[in-house]
Amino acid sequence: MTVALGTIEHVESLILKVETDEGISGIGEGAPFEFVTGETLETSLYVARMLGNRLIGEDPLAIERIHHLMDKTIIGNSAAKAAIDIALYDLQGKWLNTPLYKILGGYSNTFITDMTIGIDQPEVMAQETKEKAEIGFSILKIKAGNDPEHDIEAVKLIRQAVGNRVRLRMDANQGWTSGQAIRVIREVDQYRVDAIEQPLAYWDIDGMKYVRNKTSIPIMADESVHSPIDAVKIIKQNAADMINIKLMKSAGLYKAVAINNIAEAAGVPCMVGCMLESKIGITAGASLVAAKRNIMGADMDSFLYVKETGISGGLSLQKGVITLSEEPGLGITINI
Ligand code: MG
């Protein structure tokens, strides 16, 4: 898949197990993404081992304390920390004999996910979108940001190909300048695009606010928001209409919940996206989507591209609708 940040040829992720002296265990996943989290599989493995050693003897239910200890041990490294965080929530679910989506709030157990269309020739993107719509996906996320003219042409052909039966979002992955963003957004407005994700470089909050003020399609912050602190900055500056939370940016569920709480209180809806997680990380993210009323969108498709062996249970996906398992925790068993 090609996005404005680069082309992803293959994926590897970190699967982690937390064991307790009471015999209960939890599994988690870290999907490092160099362009966004600054981690590779090797660095996240190294850091996860280091954190694991630091946490031996701690109470696995004391998740606030464990995040504090992890952050005191090493800054950043959010995918490595997410692997531990997810495993702790899975463990908590098993301890309480309760599915994770209920532990996180239990608003619902099901939701619609979008499907991502990578950057390609506009005709190819239109054909792919049509195929995804035909198998039941009703929300498609169009990757953009390499070339404004190409992006406009792609959305035009896609809308022509699928008619009005699907909803479209665009994700520029930081690829545009503010001038390009304004031009593309004004142009694609006629093709009914629901949201524009991360038009500018992640650090350019002033620019995002400027683009938002000059255009009418809602702007969603993704790479600009990793932590609850980032969410406060975006909200204080009125720079975005929505926030895309990802567990690999937020170091897992604990801080993802905090981001959503901040956003909800400010009247800013969230969605939950993904890096390239397998079903383990995606079931964790999906549990959060289902659990929270303020999380109104989901991009939980990456596990479809990941070859999984020895992973069973977790969420199920049918015609673009994800339903969570009623098994405790993530409801996933691994046999690796
Ligand atoms: Mg994005």
Residue at which a domain ends, from 74, 97, 120 = 97
Average pLDDT over residues 239-245: 98
- Count up the domains in the chain and report the number: 2
Strands, E, within 172-276: which ranges?
193-197, 219-221, 242-245, 270-272
Residue at which a domain ends, from 37, 65, 97 = 97
User: Are 74 and 165 found together in one domain?
Assistant: no
User: Are 227 and 309 found together in one domain?
Assistant: yes
Annotation says 143 is catalytic: yes
| Ligand 1 centre distance from Cα of residue 223 (Å) | 7
| Ligand 1 centre distance from Cα of residue 173 (Å) | 6
Annotation says 114 is catalytic: no
Mean pLDDT of the chain: 95
Classify residue 204 by its DSSP letter: -
Looking up residue 313, the CATH number of its domain turns out to be 3.20.20.120
pLDDT value at 2 more than 90: no
User: Are 86 and 124 found together in one domain?
Assistant: no
| Ligand 1 centre distance from Cα of residue 180 (Å) | 18
User: Are 184 and 287 found together in one domain?
Assistant: yes
* 12-66 confidence digits (pLDDT tens): 889 999 999 999 999 999 999 999 999 999 999 999 999 999 999 999 999 999 9
CB 50 within 8 A of CB 74: yes
The DSSP element (H or E) to which 265 belongs, if any, is helix 253-265
User: Are 156 and 119 found together in one domain?
Assistant: yes
pTM of the model: 0.96
Q: Kindly indicate the confidence band of residue 3, based on its pLDDT and cuts at 50, 70 and 90.
A: confident
CB 28 within 8 A of CB 280: yes
Q: Which of 17, 42, 11 lies closest to 29 in space, CA to CA? A: 17
Looking up residue 18, the CATH number of its domain turns out to be 3.30.390.10
User: Are 245 and 172 found together in one domain?
Assistant: yes
* 53-97 confidence digits (pLDDT tens): 999 999 999 999 999 999 999 999 999 999 999 999 999 999 999
Higher-pLDDT residue of 240, 6: 240
| Ligand 1 centre distance from Cα of residue 242 (Å) | 12
| Ligand 1 centre distance from Cα of residue 222 (Å) | 5
pLDDT value at 141 more than 80: yes
Q: Single out the catalytic residue among 171, 230, 277, 299.
A: 171
pLDDT value at 154 more than 80: yes
User: Are 182 and 82 found together in one domain?
Assistant: no
Domain with 176 in it:
103-334
Average pLDDT over residues 250-261: 98
CA atoms of 11 and 135, how far apart (whole Å): 25
Q: Which residues of 132-150 are buried (b: 16+ CB within 10 A; e: fewer)?
A: bbeeebbbbbbbbbbbbeb
CA atoms of 280 and 15, how far apart (whole Å): 8
Q: Which of 33, 16, 12 lies closest to 78 in space, CA to CA? A: 33
Q: Single out the catalytic residue among 90, 151, 197, 223.
A: 197
Average pLDDT over residues 207-228: 98
Q: Kindly indicate the confidence band of residue 336, based on its pLDDT and cuts at 50, 70 and 90.
A: low
pLDDT value at 139 more than 70: yes
Higher-pLDDT residue of 3, 282: 282
Beta strands 2-3 and 6-7 are: antiparallel
Beta-bridged to residue 285, according to DSSP, are: none
User: Are 187 and 44 found together in one domain?
Assistant: no
Annotation says 206 is catalytic: no
Average pLDDT over residues 103-108: 98
User: Are 195 and 288 found together in one domain?
Assistant: yes
- State the residue for tokens 């500018």: 200
User: Are 43 and 123 found together in one domain?
Assistant: no
Residue at which a domain ends, from 97, 112, 138 = 97
pLDDT value at 7 more than 90: no
